A and B are shown apart, each in its own frame.
Chain A
Amino acid sequence: GIQVEQSPPDLILQEGANSTLRCNFSDSVNNLQWFHQNPWGQLINLFYIPSGTKQNGRLSATTVATERYSLLYISSSQTTDSGVYFCAKNYGGSQGNLIFGKGTKLSVKP
């Protein structure tokens, strides 16, 4: 089946540091999303990025569809960036649901 693998599983940063999170997937992509789940469990949509590069403030994401990976960059990290970051892709076709990776748990220390 389709696989979505994320690395690293855990990451501890000092406030102000930069980081790169990686997502590898086993099949072609027509929907690749990055989410941030905050400590209260709310899942926030960060990027919809099946290909190319997007930026939103201190966050940016790049997906290289031909090589089946996506990267999420966090610059100048803040304590509010803490939480779990998930990437997810869908099956495509008529199946619209998402398959999630296991996530990267980020802790930003003051």
Chain B
Amino acid sequence: SAVISQKPSRDICQRGTSLTIQCQVDSQVTMMFWYRQQPGQSLTLIATANQGSEATYESGFVIDKFPISRPNLTFSTLTVSNMSPEDSSIYLCSVELLPGYGYTFGSGTRLTVV
């Protein structure tokens, strides 16, 4: 089965800095999704990334804070900018590998901002 690789798996960052998270899929996919999971909470969609167009952000998330790149059909990055402790979360990417088989998630990036 296809694999989603996400890195880094975890990081501890200073407030005010930025972190870029990478998501690599070993097959071509049209849409890639980025989610955030705050401590003890469920997953919330940040944005949808389509290759060749700007990402579509959900309510409460803005491009300046969470810029996304999607340079090709197998790769995407999410940057968490100007971080504060409130950004401490698990960030996950997701794709639909095959129609009718549901969505698969990367292993997640556990971010702690100090």
Contacts and interface: CB of A to CB of B under 8 A. Distances in A.
Contacts of A17: none
Q: Which DSSP category, helix, strand, loop or mixed, fits chain A's interface?
A: strand
A12 interface: no
A42 B108 contact: yes
B103 A33 contact: yes
Given A48-B102, A96-B31, A96-B48, A103 B107 contact: no
Interface in B1-56: 31, 33, 37, 41-45, 48
B87 interface: no
Contacts of A31: 102-103
Given A97-B48, A98-B43, 17 more contacts: A31-B102, A41-B90, A41-B107, A43-B105, A48-B100, A48-B101, A86-B43, A88-B43, A88-B103, A90-B103, A96-B31, A96-B96, A98-B45, A98-B103, A100-B42, A100-B44, A101-B42
A102 interface: yes
A96 B102 contact: no
Interface residues of B, number: 22
B107 A45 contact: no
Nearest to A48: B102
Interface of A: 31, 33, 35, 41-43, 45, 48, 86, 88, 90, 95-98, 100-103
A91 to B, nearest CB: 10
Contact of B104 (A45, A95, A101): A45
B42 A97 contact: no
Contacts of B76: none
A96 B90 CA distance: 21
